[in-house]
Amino acid sequence: MTYPIQKTDAEWRALLAAKGAEPGAFDITRHARTERPFTGKYEQVWADGSYHCVCCGNTLFDARTKFDAGCGWPSFSQALPGAITEITDHSHGMVRVETVCSQCGAHLGHVFEDGPMPTGLRYCMNSASLTHEPTKPESTPQ
């Protein structure tokens, strides 16, 4: 599958290093690895804002859809429309639905049908695949 943003492995490595991405971000985003549960920097972040692809900056989730699934990874009940592409994943002897960034193909995690209503979905993401941008305070009129 091809994505609008294409780079070589060397270019992705350099880009992630320049952004100060956490160790393992390249293997997670470009080679579908998974970080250990309860180790990611966003697993217990509850600030307002939005979550973006660490590779290309594509906005993926509104922080208001984040919930504590108790699984050890940041979990969201809804992705922004068109932000994520879902791919059937047959790895590790299981059938799951992998989620990748629709702009650059970065592996984000998986989506499961055991989340809260109204969607019933749990987008289980690797922190190393994400960046968080807090909501900017509104300026007061002068």
Query: Could you give the residue numbers annotated as active site?
Result: 124
- Residue 30 has a CB neighbour count (10 Å cut-off) of 18
Q: How far apart are the C-alpha atoms of 8 and 133, rounded to whole Å? A: 26
Tokens matching residue 21: 């991405």
99 - beta bridge partners? 86, 109
CA-CA distances (angstroms) from residue 66 to 5, 7, 18, 106, 123? 26, 30, 27, 20, 9
How far from 4 is each of 58, 59, 65, 93, CA to CA, in Å? 11, 15, 26, 31
